[in-house]
């Protein structure tokens, strides 16, 4: 193994240095792009509100750490994993394809779900909380019997995620149904045929400062900041 490759592998394990690795690897990959293919440089999206906007339900410090540290780490992890795969293609060396494929799925799931999570929340009383309406409410009533029954199932699914993960509301295009699901970590348990339109992060980093081990209290409070107009827009996007 040559020095640059050894250094790359060493650095790729460290999320903090992933940006620098990406820059190097992308420029190397560009030089050989017939083999390596094109790369997206994923970026951390801005929050659509201030860090303290969801208080008292989600505190400003949790939001700041969650967005600027945790989500940022998934973005750099995804960039590093995809850059490593491009480098593997350029070199024709797929010895570590399993490692980087796993990192791409974990960090890519994290980036996607957090990007969704910020958007499906809004300050309580200013777009957040209340109940869904329109085509979303119609679909919820049709597929769960009532909004109350949906909310109970979704809350229970989120509460019972084993370890770190997500409670999710999915739209399944094959039959047009809404389905409540769980994800472990950022990416496990998916059924592949359905798309998240609403999600709650139940990793401890999402609630521990304020709620400690009381995940149920966090979930109960979280309903006050759900942005139902955005969830309906997510559903309509998939209906097109
Ligand atoms: Mn999170």
pLDDT digits (tens, 9 = 90+) for 106-136: 999 999 999 999 999 999 999 999 999 999 9
Give residue 104 CA to ligand 1 midpoint distance, Å: 16
- Of 130, 129, 117, the C-alpha closest to 205 is 117
How far does the centroid of ligand 1 lie from the alpha carbon of residue 200, in Å? Answer: 9
> What's the pLDDT tens digit per position in 164-203?
999 999 999 999 999 999 999 999 998 888 999 999 999 9
- Closest by CA to 147, choosing from 125, 176, 169, 118, is 169
239 falls in which pLDDT band (50, 70, 90)? confident
Q: What is the mean pLDDT of residues 51-68?
A: 98
Give the pLDDT confidence score for residue 167 in this predicted structure.
98
Question: Pick from 65, 77, 63, 69: which is nearest to 117 by CA?
Answer: 63
For residue 96, the CA-to-ligand 1 centroid distance in Å is 27
Asked whether the beta carbons of 171 and 236 are under 8 A apart, the reply is no
* pLDDT above 60 for 29: no
pLDDT range class, residue 13, cuts 50, 70, 90 = very low
How far away, in angstroms, is 67 Cα from ligand 1 center?
8
20 has a pLDDT exceeding 60: no
Give the angle subtended at the CA of 236 by the CAs of 233 and 239, to the nearest 5°: 160
If you measure from the C-alpha of residue 60 to the centroid of ligand 1, how many angstroms do you get, rounded to a whole number? 14
How far apart are the CA of 178 and the centre of ligand 1, in A?
23
Over its C-alpha atoms, the chain yields an Rg (Å, rounded) of 20
State the chain's maximal CA–CA distance in angstroms: 62
The pLDDT of residue 133? 97
Distance 145 CA to ligand 1 centre (A): 30
| DSSP for 6-35, written as a single string | HHHHHHHT-GGGHHHHHHHHHHHHHHTHHH
6 CA to centre of ligand 1 in angstroms: 31
Residue 175 is encoded by which pair of tokens? 């039959």
Instruction: Name 205's Cβ contacts closer than 8 Å, sequence gap at least 6.
Output: 62, 65, 66, 70
Multiple choice CATH, 134-239, 3.30.365.10, 3.30.70.1560, 3.55.40.20, 3.40.50.300: 3.55.40.20
Ligand 1 centre to CA of 68 (Å) is 11
- Does residue 2 surpass a pLDDT of 80? no
pLDDT value at 7 more than 60: no
- What one-character-per-residue DSSP string does 171-192 give? EETTTTEEEEEEEETTTBT--S
Contact 128, 200 (CB under 8 A): no
Structural domain boundaries in the chain: 3-49+59-119, 134-239
- What CA–CA distance (Å, rounded) separates 221 from 132? 17
Q: How far is the CA of 167 from the centre of ligand 1 (A)?
A: 12
| Interval between CA 90 and ligand 1 midpoint (Å) | 33
Percent of the chain with pLDDT over 70: 85
- pLDDT of res. 3: 41
**What pLDDT does 33 receive?**
57
pLDDT tens, residue by residue, 38-47: 999 999 999 9
Q: Which CATH architecture has domain 3-49+59-119?
A: Orthogonal Bundle (1.10)
């Amino acid at each position: 193994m040559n020095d640059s490759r050894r250094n790359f592998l060493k650095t790729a394990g460290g999320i903090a240095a992933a940006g620098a690795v990406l820059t190097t690897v992308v420029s190397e990959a560009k030089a050989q792009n017939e083999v390596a293919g094109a790369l997206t440089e994923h970026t951390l999206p801005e929050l659509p509100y201030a860090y303290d906007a969801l208080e008292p339900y989600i505190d400003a410090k949790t939001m700041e750490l969650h967005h600027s540290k945790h989500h940022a780490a998934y973005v750099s992890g995804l960039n590093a994993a995809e850059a490593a795969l491009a480098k593997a293609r350029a070199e024709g060396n797929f010895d570590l394809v399993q490692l980087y494929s796993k990192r791409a799925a974990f960090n890519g799931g994290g980036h996607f779900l957090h990007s969704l999570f910020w958007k499906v929340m809004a300050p309580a009383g200013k777009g957040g909380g209340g109940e869904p309406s329109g085509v979303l409410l119609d679909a919820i009533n049709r597929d769960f019997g009532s909004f109350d029954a949906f909310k109970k199932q979704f809350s229970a699914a989120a509460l019972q995620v084993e370890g770190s993960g997500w409670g999710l509301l999915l739209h399944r295009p094959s039959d047009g149904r809404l389905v409540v699901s769980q994800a472990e970590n950022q990416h496990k348990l998916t059924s592949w045929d359905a798309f998240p339109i609403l999600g709650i992060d139940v990793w401890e980093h999402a609630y521990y400062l304020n709620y400690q081990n009381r995940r149920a209290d966090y979930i109960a409070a979280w309903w006050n900041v759900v942005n139902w107009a955005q969830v309906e827009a997510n559903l309509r996007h998939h209906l097109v």
